[in-house]
Amino acid sequence: MSTTTAPASQGFRGNEKLLWGIVLGVTTFWLFAGTTGTVARNMLQEINGPTATPGEWANPYISVNQMNLAVSITALFSGLFIVLAGGLADKLGRVKVAITGNVLGLVGSLLVVLASGSLALPLMLTGRAIQGLSAACIMPSTMALLKAYWDGPERQRAVSMWSIGSWGGSGLAAIFGGFVASNLGWRYIFWASILISIISIAMMWGTPESKAEQTTSKRFDIVGLLIFIVTILSLMIVVIFGAQLGWTSPTTLGLAAVALVGMAVFVWWEQKQDNPFMDFALFKNKTFTGATISNFTINATIGLLIVSQQMLQLARPERFDPWRAGLLTLGYAITIIGFIRVGEKLLQKFGPRKPMLWGAAIVGVVCILLAMTQTLVATYTVLAVVAYALFGLGLAFYATPSTDAALSNLPAAQSGSGSGIYKMASSLGSAIGAAVSLAIFTAVMGGDVTQIGEVVHMQGVQSNAAIRSAGMVTMLFNLLLVVISIISIMVTVPKQDETN
């Protein structure tokens, strides 16, 4: 659907009340919903019973693999529906969709809070999926409101505040979630999220509506979206539950076939549409394609953070509860917030290619540091602190240049579609990357790791060798993702002198 932005309603200009309502709405996903990866084991233990290890749960209400799905499903649903929600915001009103997103976040958090007993699994998965829908509504609608109701330096400040809510929220999620889970109980994280959603709704309530002027009327490609959802969900189930179901079982093979056929049908269908859900013509632009691929793979390395946090808690529970493990990530929060503008300056001086490569290379160093799980716990603690700080630095260097590389070379008429695909790549990268990392970690931890022990000597306590070996393998998988990202950048993103 081709649109132009309507002027601010009745001359309304953005104010502090609306801005803080927007920022609080953004944090419900990035800060509160984002804590689940860190506190997942704490959640499992409280729901299934206070036992030392998952193997001691005779009949768990939620299994480890099911919780892995709950961790990743929020980002998955955000990525699947963000394009649709952005279109609805333009058509129905950005304020309406932003408030609806907050209502969905409230409902999703409430379902997670109520997850217990025999209803724990359906309530947990439904609640986490609804939280993803909430994020899909809030992110594009609030960004559009910033463009509609702020101008000049005021808009730059508003965008910075939005970025602090998102990047700052994600940076503090492990620390905040760990503190609340260890001192109050994990359910209080989501009670707090409910309260923040209510405050956000109250602060945005009464804001004059903002819509896009409709210049043409084309139906949204709902069929393409449905095919895409079935395809991705089938893939996720295979990744997460394949080992449990059996890689050669009829169920696993059937779902894998659905994913493969679904992707082929999706490409065929999209190429026939006048207004496709995913415009494959955009991928004729080599720079956009490479930046989007690298964006997907770099976001997929969120598994580094999630798995390392869980590994510390499982390997040495007497030393690392969710709070102490989360506290190690303080450097991540500081560097990602403090250096995000540095990435912008590097873009202006060197163009996008160099800072993207530098950022990805720094994340590669993070993978190597976190993979050194054979060391003693005191040594690994230092390595983890350094790695988390570098992780934030690498992402800060990468973020703005990558966005610029993806979108600056597209024609204006394609910028909206390109932005939607790029943002979708971020969310789906996080969802799929987290799911694969957790699946690898769980599978290796429960399997035969004697071959790893023959290659790498695990120092110190040997009772947790399987957990540490699983962590090592997972970090090396994430290093492979970084290598793919670097290759994508080198092959597709031109040097600065080639763009002048």
Residues 185 and 322 in one domain: no
Q: Considering the domain boundaries, does residue 457 fall inside one? A: yes
What backbone torsions phi and psi does residue 206 show, to the nearest 5 degrees? 90, -5
What is the reported pLDDT for 214? 63
Q: Which of 165, 187, 208 is the last residue in one of the domains?
A: 208
The answer to whether residues 321 and 175 touch, using CB atoms and an 8 Å cutoff, is: no
Q: Considering the domain boundaries, does residue 146 fall inside one? A: yes
* C-beta atoms surrounding 96 within 10 Å: 17
Give SS3 for 62.
coil
* Alpha helices per DSSP H over 371-464: 377-407, 415-445, 450-455
Q: Considering the domain boundaries, does residue 221 fall inside one? A: no
The answer to whether residues 44 and 54 touch, using CB atoms and an 8 Å cutoff, is: yes
Residues 62, 48: Cα–Cα separation, whole Å = 7
Query: Which helix (H) or strand (E) covers residue 5, if one does?
Result: strand 3-5
**Which residue do the tokens 């049908």 mark?**
265
Q: Considering the domain boundaries, does residue 123 fall inside one? A: yes
Cα-only R_g, the chain: 22
**Domain coverage including residue 482:** 277-500
The β-bridge relationship of strands 3-5 and 212-214 is antiparallel
Q: What's the whole-model pTM score?
A: 0.85
The count of domains in the chain is 2
Residues 287 and 170 in one domain: no
What backbone torsions phi and psi does residue 214 show, to the nearest 5 degrees? -85, 115
What is the reported pLDDT for 340? 84
**Residue 400, token pair as written in the block:** 């703005």
Planar angle of CA 382, 387, 388, nearest 5 degrees: 105
Q: Considering the domain boundaries, does residue 254 fall inside one? A: no
Residues 290 and 204 in one domain: no
Residue 4 is given by DSSP the state E
Q: Which of 155, 183, 208 is the last residue in one of the domains?
A: 208
Q: Considering the domain boundaries, does residue 32 fall inside one? A: yes
Per-residue pLDDT of the chain (500 residues; tens, 9 = 90+): 344 444 445 578 878 899 999 999 999 998 999 899 889 988 998 998 766 455 556 678 998 889 999 999 999 999 899 888 888 888 888 999 999 999 999 999 999 999 999 999 999 999 999 999 999 999 888 988 888 888 878 877 887 788 788 878 888 898 999 999 999 999 999 999 999 999 999 999 999 998 877 655 678 889 999 999 999 999 999 988 887 888 899 999 999 999 999 999 999 999 998 888 888 888 888 999 999 999 999 999 999 999 999 999 999 988 999 999 999 999 999 998 889 888 888 988 998 999 999 999 999 999 999 999 999 999 999 999 999 999 999 999 998 899 888 878 777 666 667 878 888 898 899 999 999 999 999 988 877 665 665 677 888 888 888 899 999 999 999 999 999 999 999 999 988 765 54
What is the reported pLDDT for 247? 87
Residues 64 and 197 in one domain: yes
Q: Which of 152, 175, 208 is the last residue in one of the domains?
A: 208
Question: How far lies 323's CA from each of 159, 178, 205, in Å?
Answer: 31, 4, 35
In this structure, the dihedral spanned by the alpha carbons of residues 363, 367, 368 and 374, taken in order and rounded to 10 degrees, is 150
What is the reported pLDDT for 24? 95
The answer to whether residues 150 and 13 touch, using CB atoms and an 8 Å cutoff, is: yes
Residues contacting residue 65 through CB under 8 Å, at least 6 positions apart = 240, 241, 244, 439, 442
What is the reported pLDDT for 135? 93
**Which residue do the tokens 């996008």 mark?**
352
What is the reported pLDDT for 459? 87
Q: Considering the domain boundaries, does residue 230 fall inside one? A: no
Residues 328 and 465 in one domain: yes
Q: Considering the domain boundaries, does residue 229 fall inside one? A: no
In this structure, the dihedral spanned by the alpha carbons of residues 407, 15, 138 and 6, taken in order and rounded to 10 degrees, is -60
What is the reported pLDDT for 120? 94
What is the reported pLDDT for 6? 46
Residues 219, 215: Cα–Cα separation, whole Å = 13
> What CATH number should be reported for the domain holding residue 419?
1.20.1250.20
